[in-house]
Structure 1
Amino acid sequence: MEFLTNNIQMYMPYIAIALAVIILLQFILIIVLFRSVGKVEKKYRKMMRGVNNKNIEELIISYLDRVDEANNNSQNAIEHANLLEEKMKSCVQKVAMVRYKAFEDVGSDLSFSIAILDENNDGIILTGIYGRNESTCYAKPIDKGISRYDLSEEEMTALNNAINKVKTTV
């Protein structure tokens, strides 16, 4: 036992230095760990902001419910847009007008033909013929770009101009 005590006393300065180095390394390790814990705590507080005594599972479930609600709203908006697009096919989309002089004794291009069509080229042609003593206005139905009534040259021009109009989409 005395041998052990003598050896310990002889190497005491080296043991003290080694212990001081170990304590210094542990102190540095503790500082690094406190910083790491501080960063994790900051992230945790940021993630849990606005939450009072809720656990993370409830928080995630509430956010997933919000995502589902947003998906449902988006799907409803898409369906509504498709319905509106379908309804728009029957709305007026193509209009063309031709003005002309129907009679030589009338001074200006006061007569007209207007073609009003939807996407399927269904609609009407309105024609107004202006004369010095009388004026006449009449309409002819158009079905798929064709009239079952005879069309004048001006009415055909208005119809072809309307049919050839390019549909603009948003």
Structure 2
Amino acid sequence: METEHDQILGSVAQVKIADQIGDSGEGDDVRVSCFTEVSDDVTLQFQIIRLAKQIYVWVGCNSAKFGNLYAAASTRPSNTVSVTSVLGGTSDNTGSGIARRLVMKTGLNIILACNIPKNNPLLETKAEKVLIGKLIDLGYTMSTPLRAT
């Protein structure tokens, strides 16, 4: 009869084997990057979570509020990008344009939470430039971006 100690050791061994089998070496791990940028007395906070086939991005302005949530993905066969508002906002709000352009730049599905004021296009542009620069530094962008048709 197995003792509790033997059962635990057996479970740990199974987990290790499952880990080795599940490790495809294709970068399926989750990577998290957080950083802050100060521009014109406005603090922009960013969080990027890289998953296997998508990127989650949060952009905050002067607070840690969640903001509106958008989902964007390229569609087949024409490689156009579809964006939808998941929480709050509408498809013409600040975050939808950023999400659309991020899909074109990365080729991945994008989930974007955005808390940037709608009446400040310069701040939106600055946030997007900083975000794309960081994505390039992290190696999350494609060498040739998708072209919207």
TM-score category, normalised to shorter length = under 0.3
The TM-score with structure 2 as length reference comes to: 0.24
More strand by share: 2
The TM-score with structure 1 as length reference comes to: 0.22
Greater relative CO (CA pairs within 8 A, separation 6+): 2
Q: Which structure has the larger Rg?
A: 1
